[in-house]
Structure 1
Amino acid sequence: MPYLLYSLTFMVLVTGTALYLTRAHWLHLMPNVNNMQHLYSRLPGSFAGDMEAGLSSSTFDLGGNVDAGDARAGLDDAAKTEILKIMKKRRVRFDEARRLYMEQRFSANGIAADGRPRDPKFVSFS
């Protein structure tokens, strides 16, 4: 049993050394970690910061909050994170990303895209 542990340790050291010495040949195949902006980005902490981050539009205007000097922390952090991910990943504007986010939330909660419950027992009277 000890020979297996020593052999495994030796193989890991040899493999690591070989990879380090030959990194010029295979490193270009790896993604560049320095250019990955989606790993971490600071969320804005106020309505003014939300507007600067692009989380405002003519149909969802935060200008009134900024003009009134609203001291709250801004929009929900979890929603901001998801909407910014959608905006970057799908390359859409804020309104479209907000719509896609709400459709995802609706489907996760058993609600159709038009706002009606998907419950088969649901009865609606016009």
Structure 2
Amino acid sequence: MYLLYGLTFTVLVFGTILYLTRNSWLHLLSDLPGSSLYLRLPGSFSDDIEAGLSSSTFDLGANVDSGDSRAGLDDAAKTEILKIMKKRRIRFDEARRVYTEQRFSANGIGPDGRPRDPKFVSFS
């Protein structure tokens, strides 16, 4: 009987500690394979602006002002950029640069925009 009480007390204490410190370890769960924490994506350009996916160098205000009815930016890119912003704690422009460099690297393109193909020939 005491074993059951001790186990219940231990679980309650451990659960309380995890709950109170969740801000310091919760971001680690998104790195696990197969983990799918819900991330609501903005559905229009005005929602993209509110989510922080706009800056002075990538201004979505003109789209909103002109009444653009499209669904906003690409969902896959938004998801990755928001993850980068949250994980590295950086602003939108820097996260967009990191995302673009990752896409370049995945497609065999160097950070300077030139292909890494050894057969590539360029004339200046």
User: TM-score when scaled to structure 1?
Assistant: 0.76
> Residues 19 and 102 (structure 1 numbering): CA distance in 2 closer, same or farther, change over 3 Å?
farther
One-letter amino acid of the structure 2 residue matched with residue 112 of structure 1: G
One-letter amino acid of the structure 1 residue matched with residue 59 of structure 2: D
Task: Give the CA deviation at 1:26.
Answer: 3.3
What's the counterpart of residue 34 of structure 2?
Answer: none
What's the counterpart of residue 58 of structure 1?
Answer: 56
Structure 2 residue aligned with 1:98, among 68, 76, 96?
Answer: 96
The more displaced of 19-28 and 75-84 is: 19-28
Equivalent position SS for 2:99: helix
What's the counterpart of residue 22 of structure 1?
Answer: 10
What's the counterpart of residue 116 of structure 1?
Answer: 114
Regions of 4+ moved over 4 Å: 18-21, 28-32, 34-38
Structure having the higher Rg:
1
Equivalent position SS for 2:39: coil
One-letter amino acid of the structure 1 residue matched with residue 78 of structure 2: K
Task: Give the CA deviation at 1:40.
Answer: 1.9
Query: For the residues of structure 2 that align with 1:40 and 1:63, how far apart are their CA atoms?
Result: 27
Structure 2 residue aligned with 1:82, among 80, 83, 86?
Answer: 80
Gaps of at least 5 residues in structure 1 are: 1-17
What's the counterpart of residue 49 of structure 1?
Answer: 47
CA displacement 1:40-84 (0-9 Å, x = unmatched): 221110000000100001111100000000000000000000000
Task: Give the CA deviation at 1:28.
Answer: 4.8
Report sequence identity in percent: 73
Q: Does residue 1:70 correspond to 2:58, yes or no?
A: no
Gaps of at least 5 residues in structure 2 are: 1-5, 31-36
User: TM-score when scaled to structure 2?
Assistant: 0.77
